Structure 1
Amino acid sequence: METTHGATVTSVEQVTPHMVRLRLRLDEPGAWVSDGTPDECVHVEVGATTNDADGHSARHYTVSGHTPDGFELEVFLHGDGPGATWARTARPGDRTEVSDSKGYYAVPKGAGVRVLVGDATALPAIARILAEAAADEVFHVVVELSDLADARELPTAATATVDWRLAGNGTRASALKAVLGALRDSHLDPTDQAYVWVACEAKESRAIRQMLRREYGLPLTHFRIVGYWHFDLAHALRVWEEASEQTKADYLALWRDDRSDEENWVELEPFLQKMGA
């Protein structure tokens, strides 16, 4: 994990049937660095004995809000993995470690309607993006849930339409790619300069990225696609573990700090397909 900061859980709140909000008090609040983006996330030590697909024993979660001595984060309780188990059993006084934050949401100057699309894991980020939006912004939001009981109010000063779908989240087939396809004529005309932010299961996110790049003509600066979790984590880990050291080195070399993440993905996607990921 990156630079770490000691933290204590101070409260646990059940937001919806499958979403928990935890408030963390940092040992040294002034030492923790927020990147300021509304979808910022942190790595959190959750007691995992196995790494995720990115090689972390920690798990990453959205910072849903800041407090004077720390921040809040939200965890979607899907499955019985180490992250969900940690959040489900966390109690005030529990100790953990967190990283500095990193976010992805970056609307370019002159962009039109903001299109936010995601599954339940994206809901905390979507809620904060809307909460921090200005009154002159316009949003079209689509969230797919495995249980509509997890839908909630999304207050905002902006103009926003929110469409809740019963799909995806590892229990049903995802509808997000089809949803974006249906929005093509109404919201995604390249001349309208829409900004598209998508966060969902990793493989689904890659399919959506390919569609936006190949079929929609949106510039790379006008969309950000993020894979938040893996439906088949065992497969993702196996592909990496079985790769040769040269293949791993070639993969790591493709990601360059002098390019945007979406520019890096132009090179990464065909490489991942060749690996069988």
Structure 2
Amino acid sequence: MPEMPAVLANTLMPWFAKPSHVSRVETLAPGLRRVRFEGASLRGVSYEAGQEVEFRVSPTEFRHYTPSLWDVESGVLEVVFYLHGQGPGSAWAEALEPGDAVDILGPGGRLSVDADAPAHLFLGDETCLGLFQAMIRALPSPLRLLGAVEVAPGAEDWLARTGVPLTAVARRASRGEALSAWLEQNVLPGATCYLAGHAGSIVALRKQLLERHGCARRSLRSKAYWADGKRGL
């Protein structure tokens, strides 16, 4: 639901949205912000790590984000926003301040962790930091875990700031190129593979895993957050 007429959105939001307020805003790094939302409506919700929520970021536009944390007992939800500065979602997230009232739709979506897998491989970009943090936290322990996140050169410390225990790789000339090179040297046999972020990179990495590393199709799980030339995935 990336866009909806304002009149219709005004009618539907009171019926389906969960009211909350911003209780904390943290700037983890330039372009990276963690926001905490709290509210009684966020308690007792049926939620699985990897599911997403939706925010109304303008009178007619909505954007999906994946919580990095959702404590359904206390009614606390957190989102790590990557502020790429290219659209209403980034502008809305950058303007959030403590005390702001925010309506939340969801959760929804089918991406989830494979609790029975013997190992787990994560591949994505900056838009996946919250997703990977939530999914890794939900995995049973002890576990075999490996993965990489492609970031802009100079932003390699972002993973440590968000608590994501994966490898940061600096982006090269083409999206996904650094992840592909890393994957050639790091394969985790028998792993369930989680691919997220840039749609084009997911397609290339999926092909690489299937054709070069012999991964089974059933072991691949993916979620595209954005694509070149498109808005509102």
The one-letter code sitting in structure 1 at the alignment partner of 2:196 is A
162, 172, 175: which is aligned to 1:173? 175
Alpha-carbon contact 1:201-1:228 (below 8 Å) kept:
yes
Asked if residue 151 in structure 1 is aligned to residue 159 in structure 2, the reply is yes
178, 193, 197: which is aligned to 1:196? 193
Q: Which residue of 2 aligns with 1:21?
A: 34
d(CA) in 2 for partners of 1:61, 1:83: 10
111, 114, 118: which is aligned to 2:120? 114
Map 1:209-228 to 2 at 5 A.
209-228=206-225
Root-mean-square deviation over aligned CA pairs = 2.8
Could you tell me how far 1:172 is from its partner in structure 2? 5.4
SS at match of 1:79: coil
Structure with the largest fraction of strand: 2
More off after superposition, 115-124 vs 173-182: 173-182
Between 1 and 2, higher relative CO (CA 8 Å, sep ≥ 6) is seen in 2
Could you tell me how far 1:122 is from its partner in structure 2? 0.9
d(CA) in 2 for partners of 1:5, 1:63: 14
Asked if residue 46 in structure 1 is aligned to residue 52 in structure 2, the reply is no
d(CA) in 2 for partners of 1:113, 1:123: 19
Asked if residue 33 in structure 1 is aligned to residue 45 in structure 2, the reply is yes
Could you tell me how far 1:209 is from its partner in structure 2? 2.5
Q: Which runs of 5+ in 2 are unaligned?
A: 2-11
SS at match of 1:221: helix
Alpha-carbon contact 2:20-2:42 (below 8 Å) kept:
no
TM-score (norm 1): 0.67
Asked if residue 206 in structure 1 is aligned to residue 218 in structure 2, the reply is no
Alpha-carbon contact 2:80-2:129 (below 8 Å) kept:
no
Structure with the largest fraction of helix: 1
Alpha-carbon contact 2:26-2:33 (below 8 Å) kept:
yes
Q: Percent identity, aligned pairs only?
A: 23
Asked if residue 98 in structure 1 is aligned to residue 86 in structure 2, the reply is no
SS at match of 1:75: strand
The one-letter code sitting in structure 1 at the alignment partner of 2:120 is R
Alpha-carbon contact 1:18-1:150 (below 8 Å) kept:
no
TM-score (norm 2): 0.78
Task: Provide closer, same or farther for how the CA distance between residues 194 and 149 of structure 1 changes in structure 2, counting only shifts above 3 A.
Answer: closer
Alpha-carbon contact 1:5-1:28 (below 8 Å) kept:
yes
The one-letter code sitting in structure 2 at the alignment partner of 1:5 is K
Asked if residue 75 in structure 1 is aligned to residue 81 in structure 2, the reply is yes
Q: Deviations over 1:198-240 (max 9, x none)?
A: 1121122122223334444433331102111123216x99xxx
Alpha-carbon contact 2:113-2:138 (below 8 Å) kept:
no
d(CA) in 2 for partners of 1:105, 1:19: 24
How many residue pairs end up in the alignment?
214
The one-letter code sitting in structure 1 at the alignment partner of 2:47 is D
d(CA) in 2 for partners of 1:86, 1:208: 31
